[in-house]
Amino acid sequence: MNFLESLGDGWTIYLWLVVGGLIIIASIYGIRWASKNEQFDEDIKYLVFNESDKDKMSPQEYAKSREVLAAQELSRERVLKQQAEERNKKNEAR
């Protein structure tokens, strides 16, 4: 406690600046991660619909939901294939 008392007035602003900088860096990292991992997809709302919801949707909305679902399945297959390839590379390196 003596160390903090020996610092003098105004030292806490530097602590706040460092913490604020760390928060900004963490936020930038989180946004960067989210954009690389397809987290900013506004069409995600269409994935909750299935074939039984066809009568509750307009033809345009239904077509859009099927299009989004197909794109999501392709993305899923691509990611799973990439993960399998990475696992195989790690196993070969052993």
The tens-digit pLDDT sequence of the chain (94 residues) is 677 677 777 888 888 999 999 999 999 999 999 988 878 878 878 888 888 888 888 889 888 989 988 988 998 899 899 999 999 988 888 7
What residue has token string 């939901």?
65
Answer yes or no: do 52 and 94 share one domain. yes
Answer yes or no: do 66 and 91 share one domain. yes
Answer yes or no: do 19 and 33 share one domain. yes
Q: What is the pLDDT of residue 57?
A: 86
Total domains present in the chain: 2
Answer yes or no: do 68 and 58 share one domain. yes
Q: What's the Cα-to-Cα distance from 90 to each of 7, 76, 77, 81, 94, rounded to whole Å?
A: 51, 21, 20, 14, 7
The reported pTM is 0.56
- Report the alpha-carbon distance of residue 90 to residue 84 in Å, rounded: 10
Answer yes or no: do 50 and 69 share one domain. yes
Domain that holds residue 3: 1-40
Answer yes or no: do 50 and 36 share one domain. no
Q: What is the pLDDT of residue 1?
A: 60
- Report the alpha-carbon distance of residue 80 to residue 91 in Å, rounded: 16
Q: What is the pLDDT of residue 19?
A: 96
Query: Do 49 and 26 form a contact (C-beta atoms < 8 A)?
Result: no
Answer yes or no: do 14 and 35 share one domain. yes
